[in-house]
Amino acid sequence: MSWTGKVLRVDLTAGRVASEPLNAEWAQAYLGQRGLATKYLVAETVPGCDPLGPDNKMIFTTGPLTGTMASTGGRYSVVTKGPLTGCVACSNSGGFLGQELKNAGWDMIIFEGRSPAPVYLYVENEQATLMPAEEIWGQSVWKTDAWLHRRHQDPLLRVAAVGRATETGCLYAGVINDLHRAAGRSGVGTVMASKNLKAVAVRGTLGVGNIKDPARFMTAVNAAKQVLAGNAVTGQGLPAYGTQVLMNVINEIGALPTRNTREVQFEGAPRISGEAMHEPRPSDGKPNLTTNAGCFACTIACGRISTVDRGHFTVKNKPEYWGNSGGLEYEAAWALGADTGVDDLDALTFANFLCNEDGFDPISFGATVAAAMELYGRGVLSVEQTGGVPFDFGSSVALTKAAEWVATGAGFGRELGLGSRRLCEKYGHPELSMTVKSQEFPAYDPRGIQGMGLAYATSNRGACHLRGYTVASEVLGIPEKTDPLTTEGKPALVKAFQDATAAVDSSGLCVFTTFAWTLEDIAPQIDAACEGEWTPERLVELGERIWNLERDYNLRAGIGAEQDTLPERLLREAAPTGPAKGKVVGLAQMLPEYYRLRGWSADGVPTPETRARLGLA
């Protein structure tokens, strides 16, 4: 229960849709969303398949609490094999699309094959239809969204779509839903476009019921909401400043990767921070931030709704960008700002708008621009090669031009769209790519937060902060404070975060709740809603099972321990300033212990005992 028990299978090659029952046994072992869809992907695809070929599958998946009144219970994920990394990719998004899918009666949609012509999927409760999308192919996400609302004369339709970046080969394109929420990382949108699938438009009016014990569920949900409201991070910091509450904090502890990670502190950080978004602009007296916004059912509401100054060079005479839209989150502000050395808040907000409008990941994009800037600064790239625009660190013109080029696949944008690993290799400097498993790492320099070094190196989808956010412990003291500069105890910490996060990502809830919630708060909500007995211990084990399942898929795809590493810069060049001055990442001190704690061999392979313990075939 709480699952709808129905899977929509869409054969794009044949143009057929069919309903099938959810595998209830797998739901007990993998819960939903990230875990359950990964189980389907592993069972149904060959790990060595071409991520952009018809043999890859792409799954839109909800969790059992998606669509319920549990705070943040509106999440969905897109699970597939990622083209940027070649690893299993799982990108999680909020907004309203996930709950709409659940309200239409579906736990997940499995897309397979490739449509011979551009199509979109229209779902109205039990009815699902593939419809022609020629008219919107080559259009932005925002135009596609408007077109679909007009086409179906339905303002309540929820839309997820891919933009032009996706269609022109950008390898880090995302799926954008509700105009500015993103299943953003690892190129899941690129996979969607490769299937000739432009959009998924959903209208659900059936409601989400099937709660095992409704009275107990409401009690657990209300108690958990009180915990969020009373917590300083989820009750105050995130609503007021969003994730951007971190910009100044991370800069001060010397862990803000700056100018392609050559430095660890950015002198412009205060100007692009959450606090700066509240400051009135000299031009019109308005702040960058208009309001905060909640995703479906979310009582935290960390979302940013912002404007760009109408007089700013990026939007002059472009009234289509004068309104409000999704503003800067911390990771985007870092990648577009500190990592490129640009401290112009309006330029960052505009670039962020373009990332949403045409569907590409601001983290990978910003970090790739940063790498291009370093190549340019070293004379490896000439101004002719960078589209006639000098790619100096700090250039807001270069940043925003690059965003326009990647959005449309124009000129140098094609090369930037390949990501920093491919760009840097092409120009003979692979060491300048700040990636793990070809995915750009985000806004935490692990020389100043050692646990994040191990988290990046071992993340199953390539470098990522959301697979094991030890920043919570090492910087914020959640659940308890650990020293960010030491490697001691970090393997166990990383493993604990990775396993718990995998469980949360499978529930339909947002991982940001875990600034306040532990599994002790989450398990009672799942237990009251879902068939079976759900304890914190069971969720930890389930998380570990998911982690090993993902690892196993990557191993069979040919990505093993040799890629559990970090860019040389982090391992050899010491942090130049701040509290971490003189430090490199002590990965070698952490990795063997991590493998041991995971029950893996010295070369990073789950042992037969571990597999048996977790019930992995």
Q: How far apart are the first and last CA of the chain?
A: 26
Q: Rule CB under 8 A: choose which of 89, 109, 208, 566 binds other proteins.
A: 208
Point out which span in 199-207, 449-457, 553-561, 588-596 binds other proteins (CB under 8 A).
Answer: 199-207
Name the minimum Å distance from CB 278 to other proteins.
Answer: 14
Per-residue mark of binding to other proteins, 313-352 (x: CB under 8 A): ----------xxx---------------------------
- CA-CA distance, 331 to 301, in Å (whole number)? 17
Determine if 297 is a binding residue for other proteins (CB under 8 A): yes
Q: Is the peptide bond before 479 cis (omega within 30 degrees of 0)?
A: yes
Residue 438 gets the label, from left (phi > 0), alpha (psi -120 to 50) or beta, of: left
Which residues, including other chains, have CB under 8 Å from residue 423's CB and lie 6 or more apart? 368, 371, 372, 375, 415, 416, 433
Cβ closest to other proteins, residue 99 vs residue 265: 99
Q: Which is nearer to other proteins, 203 or 447 (CB)?
A: 203
- What character string, x for contact with other proteins (CB under 8 A) and - otherwise, covers 135-174? ---------------------x------------------
For the bound state, the minimum distance from the C-beta of residue 293 to other proteins, rounded and expressed in Å, comes to: 5
- Answer for which of 17, 49, 69, 410 binds other proteins (CB under 8 A) is 69
Number of residues that bind other proteins (CB under 8 A): 37
Of 536, 551, 554, whose CA–CA distance to 595 is shortest? 551
Complex with other proteins: residue 144 or 498, whichever CB lies closer: 144
The residue within the footprint of other proteins, chosen from 48, 116, 132, 214 (CB under 8 A), is 214
| Residue pointed to by tokens 């709409």 | 100
Q: How far is the CB of 310 from other proteins (least distance, A)?
A: 13
Q: Which is nearer to other proteins, 179 or 571 (CB)?
A: 179
- Please list every residue from 381 through 440 that binds other proteins, using CB under 8 A: none
Which of residues 140, 307, 395, 548 is near other proteins by CB under 8 A?
Answer: 307
Out of 1, 49, 131, 179, the only residue in the binding site for other proteins (CB under 8 A) is 179
Which residues, 449 to 508, sit near other proteins by CB under 8 A? none
Least Cα distance to 86 among 505, 555, 440 occurs for: 555
CA angle 291, 297, 299 (to 5 degrees): 55
Length in residues, the chain:
617
Helix, coil or strand: residue 479? coil
Distance CA 456, CA 442 (A): 9
Which region holds residue 615: left if phi is over 0, alpha if psi is between -120 and 50, else beta?
Answer: left
The binder of other proteins chosen from 32, 67, 82, 362 (CB under 8 A): 67
- Residue 91: left (phi > 0), alpha (psi -120 to 50), or beta? beta
CA distances from 297 to 198, 294, 302 (A): 27, 7, 12
Alpha carbons 267 and 273: distance in angstroms, whole number: 11
Q: Which is nearer to other proteins, 209 or 477 (CB)?
A: 209
Q: Is 54 buried (19+), middle (13-18) or exposed (0-12) by CB count in 10 A?
A: middle
Q: Smaller CB distance to other proteins: residue 146 or 380? A: 146
Nearest to 125 by CA among 153, 141, 101: 101
Binding mask 87-126 for other proteins (x = CB under 8 A): ---------x--x---x-----------------------
Structure tokens at 189: 């949108």
Beta bridge partners of 127: 124
Least distance from C-beta 208 to other proteins, angstroms? 4
Smallest gap from Cβ 209 to other proteins, in A, equals 4
> Torsion-angle region of residue 411: left (phi > 0), alpha (psi -120 to 50) or beta?
left
Shortest spacing between CB 216 and other proteins, in angstroms: 14
Q: Rounded CA gap, 406 and 400, in Å?
A: 10
Positions 272 through 291 that interact with other proteins (CB under 8 A): 290-291
Q: DSSP string covering 417-440, please?
A: TT-HHHHHHHTT-GGG--EETTEE
Of 131-139, 206-214, 393-401, 440-448, which part binds other proteins (CB under 8 A)?
A: 206-214
Residues 6 or more apart whose CB falls under 8 angstroms from that of 391 comprise 369, 372, 373, 375, 376, 377, 381, 383, 398
Residue nearer to other proteins on the CB measure, 104 or 519:
104
Please report how close the Cβ of residue 211 comes to other proteins at its closest, in angstroms: 8
Shortest Cβ distance from residue 457 to other proteins (Å)?
36
From 48-56, 181-189, 304-312, 605-613, span contacting other proteins (CB under 8 A): 304-312
- Per CB under 8 A, the segment of 9-17, 201-209, 328-336, 349-357 that binds other proteins is 201-209
State the nearest-atom distance from the C-beta of 224 to other proteins, in Å.
12
d(C-alpha 256, C-alpha 442), whole Å: 10
* Minimum distance, C-beta of residue 307 to other proteins, in the bound complex (Å): 7
Toward other proteins, which CB reaches closer, 313 or 322? 322
Any idea what DSSP says for residue 129?
Answer: E
**Given the rule CB under 8 A, which of 166-174, 207-215, 342-350, 426-434 is the region that contacts other proteins?**
207-215
State both tokens at 406: 């990647």
CB of 244 to other proteins, least distance (A): 16
Burial string for 419-432 (b: 16+ CB within 10 Å, else e) reads bbbbbbeebeebeb
Closer to other proteins by CB, 296 or 553: give it: 296
- Give whichever of 179 and 492 is closer to other proteins, judged by the CB atom: 179
Using an 8 Å Cβ cutoff, are 281 and 356 in contact?
no
Among 172, 241, 296, 456, contact with other proteins (rule: CB under 8 A): 296
Which residues bind to other proteins, rule: CB under 8 A?
67-69, 71, 96, 99, 103, 156, 179, 204-209, 214, 225, 229, 239, 290-299, 301, 303, 305-307, 323-325
